[in-house]
Amino acid sequence: MTAFDPASVSRAQDGDTDARDGLLAAITPILQAFFRSRIGGSPQADDLVQNALIRVHRGLDALQNPARFKAFAMKAAVFELQDFYRGRYSTREALFDPDLPTPGSVDPEDVALRVDLEDALATLSEHARTIIEMRELGYPYSDIATTLDTTEAAVKMQVKRAFAKLREVLTSAVVAFALFGAAL
């Protein structure tokens, strides 16, 4: 009998904690190898393993075909990796490194942090700022278009143009700062 034997999966689904623990223990090294091969041996890889195990644990009762347990667990891992790549994943615990600046600190040498984003946004039209703000708040293009009584294609084009203008304004501000220093 293997660790992913359908009988073991069925017992775990029926509430056998030993069977559930055995399944999770057996899938852990596979998940570790999966995440480490994609993002390296960082602490985030271990966190992603734990998150995938939680997904497997919570969703095990919904698994209809016990013979597909490994595929089910790997699908949970893929979802966790997608969340990580999309930026929806954040560590719950900040690790302190005394050699790195603390998050949110401002190093006077950092040119990019000296650029005022509010000034850059002020160069956009009110309509473009509204679209960018709604997009940042997570509204899909279709909802923005409906709210502003325009087409989705027009909203997408406005976002593209707004980002191009912001890129231009911010780049020129960084270049000016680099050339003329803090005198600006």
Give the angle 43-48-50 at the CA atoms, nearest 5°: 100
Selection from 55, 48, 166 nearest residue 115 by Cα: 166
> How many Cβ atoms are within 10 Å of 148's Cβ, its own excluded?
15
Are residues 133 and 158 in contact, defined by beta-carbon separation less than 8 angstroms? no
Selection from 65, 93, 76 nearest residue 24 by Cα: 76
What six digits make up the tokens of 138? 């997570």
Burial of 178 (0-12, 13-18, 19+ CB in 10 A): exposed
Identify the pLDDT of residue 30: 92
Are residues 132 and 162 in contact, defined by beta-carbon separation less than 8 angstroms? yes
Give the angle 88-98-111 at the CA atoms, nearest 5°: 70
Identify the pLDDT of residue 86: 76
Tokens 């359908």 correspond to 6
Are residues 123 and 165 in contact, defined by beta-carbon separation less than 8 angstroms? yes
Amino acid at residue number 16: D
pLDDT tens for the 184 residues of the chain, in order: 567 888 988 998 898 899 899 999 999 999 999 889 888 887 888 889 999 999 999 988 888 998 889 889 999 898 888 888 877 655 544 455 556 555 544 554 554 444 567 778 888 898 998 888 888 877 888 889 988 899 999 999 999 999 888 888 878 876 776 676 655 4
Tokens 């960084």 correspond to 174
- The single-letter DSSP state of residue 42 is S
pTM: 0.49
Are residues 12 and 19 in contact, defined by beta-carbon separation less than 8 angstroms? yes
Are residues 46 and 95 in contact, defined by beta-carbon separation less than 8 angstroms? no
